[in-house]
Amino acid sequence: MKTFLLLLLSIVFYSCESIEKLAYNLFLEEDLLQRPKAKRCSDCHTKIYNQWKNSRHSVAWISEHFKKSTENYSKVKCLSCHAPYEIEPLEKPKLRDFHREDGINCVSCHFKDSTNSMHGPYEVFSPPHYSTKDINYTKSEICAGCHRETYKEWKSAKVKQTCQDCHMPSKKDNLIQKFPFYLFHKKKDVHNHEILALLTPKDALNIKLLSVDEDEIKLMIENTKIPHNLPTADQGKPKFYIKTEFFLNKKKVDEDLQMITHKQGLKYKKPKELSFFTTEKFNLVKITISRKLSWSNKKETIKTINLKIEK
C-alpha cells in the first residue's frame, strides 16, 4: 500500500513537473534571456515598465548632468553604477558595454548569468523566461552597491524599515498585463518602480528655539524619522535650505539663509544646532525648510513655522 501511494505520488509529482517543463519549452522567449532593453519587458510587465520609465534610474546614463560631469562619458570610473551589467548586494557593479542609454534597466537589476534567469522576490511560474526566487530583493543591501553613502547612514540608524519599504511602496496587482496570461496568475504585492525621492513629511522634522540674542537666534533641528541624512547622496548634490525671515510687528525686516549639503546633512535622531543672524529688531521669526534634488531646479517646501519672540 505504502509503495503504491509513493508510486502514485511520484507520478503526479513527475507529471506536474513535466507539465511545467513543457510550458517552459512551449512559451520560452529566448531573447528575454539575452539582456534586452527595458522596452521589451513592457510587452508583459506594462505597468512596472511605465513606472520605471518615469524613474531617475531610467535616465541615469542620458541625464545631462551626468553627461557633463563625466566630460562626455570620458571619466571611466564614473560609469559603472549608471549603466550596470549585473547587481549584487553590497557590491559596486561592473559596467556593461551595450544599451548604455537604457541606464539602470530591468535586466541589470534582475537578470543573472549564473542561473540564466530573472531574480525577484517571488516563487513564480513564468514560462516566457526562467525565474529564481531571491530574498535579497527585499533587503536594503540590494541598493547598497550603488547608494553606498546612503546605505552606511541607514545601517548606522539601526532601523527595521528597508529602502524598499519607503521608496518602493507596494499594492496588490498583477505582475503582468498581457492578455489572457495575467488571468492565470494570482495578484501579488507589486512594488512601485518609479522609486521616488519622496518628500520629507512635516512631522519628521522637529524644530526648537534654543536661544534669542540681540542679533542672533539659535535653532535646534532634528530629523526624527528618516533613517539617512537629509539630504542624502553619493555623487548627486541635493540640498536642504533653512530660511529665517525676521518680522517686526508683521513687517518683514530681514532674512537669513543656510544651505545644508548631504555631508553636513540632518542625521537620524541627531539634533543639529544652527544660528541665524540679523542686525534688525524683530518679534517674530518665520522658518521655512525646503529641499532641492540634484537633478531639479525646483525648490520644494517641506515645512513652515512661525515663532513669536518675547524679549
Among residue numbers 182 through 201, which ones bind ligand HEC (CB under 6 A)? 185, 188, 190-191, 193, 195, 197-200
Residue 160's CB is within 10 A of a number of other CB atoms, namely 6
Applying CB under 6 A, which of residues 86, 102, 137, 223 lies at the interface with ligand HEC?
137
The angle formed by the CA atoms of residues 102, 107 and 110, to the nearest 5 degrees, is 140
For residues 137, 84, 36, 112, the Cα torsion angle rounded to the nearest 10 degrees is -50
Smallest gap from residue 68 Cβ to ligand HEC (A)? 8
Applying CB under 6 A, which of residues 86, 96, 102, 175 lies at the interface with ligand HEC?
175
57 vs 267, beta carbon nearer ligand HEC: 57
Instruction: Judge contact between 82 and 236, C-beta under 8 A.
Output: no
Per-position x/- string for 251-270, each x denoting binding to ligand HEC as judged by CB under 6 A, each - no binding: --------------------
Question: Distance of CA 119 to CAs 1, 84, 129, Å?
Answer: 41, 16, 11
How many residues of this chain interact with ligand HEC, rule: CB under 6 A? Answer: 97
- DSSP structure class, residue 84: B
Of 16-24, 85-93, 210-218, 248-256, the segment contacting ligand HEC by CB under 6 A is 85-93
64 vs 214, beta carbon nearer ligand HEC: 64
57 lies in the binding site for ligand HEC (CB under 6 A)? yes
309 lies in the binding site for ligand HEC (CB under 6 A)? no
Quick check: bond before 36 cis, omega within 30? no
Smallest gap from residue 185 Cβ to ligand HEC (A)? 3
> d(Cα 86, Cα 119) in Å, to the nearest integer?
11
166 lies in the binding site for ligand HEC (CB under 6 A)? yes
Smallest gap from residue 138 Cβ to ligand HEC (A)? 4
Smallest gap from residue 122 Cβ to ligand HEC (A)? 4
78 lies in the binding site for ligand HEC (CB under 6 A)? yes
289 lies in the binding site for ligand HEC (CB under 6 A)? no
100 lies in the binding site for ligand HEC (CB under 6 A)? no
104 lies in the binding site for ligand HEC (CB under 6 A)? yes
Q: According to CB under 6 A, which residues from 206 to 225 bind ligand HEC?
A: none
> d(Cα 110, Cα 280) in Å, to the nearest integer?
59
Closest by Cα among 203, 178, 175 to 191: 175
235 lies in the binding site for ligand HEC (CB under 6 A)? yes
230 vs 242, beta carbon nearer ligand HEC: 230
Closest by Cα among 9, 25, 47, 28 to 178: 47
- Quick check: helix, strand or coil at residue 212? strand
For residues 197, 201, 206, 212, the Cα torsion angle rounded to the nearest 10 degrees is 90
* Cross-strand pairs, 274: 219
> d(Cα 220, Cα 262) in Å, to the nearest integer?
18
49 lies in the binding site for ligand HEC (CB under 6 A)? yes
Smallest gap from residue 184 Cβ to ligand HEC (A)? 8
Task: Report the residue number whose CB is nearest to ligand HEC.
Answer: 120
> d(Cα 28, Cα 26) in Å, to the nearest integer?
6
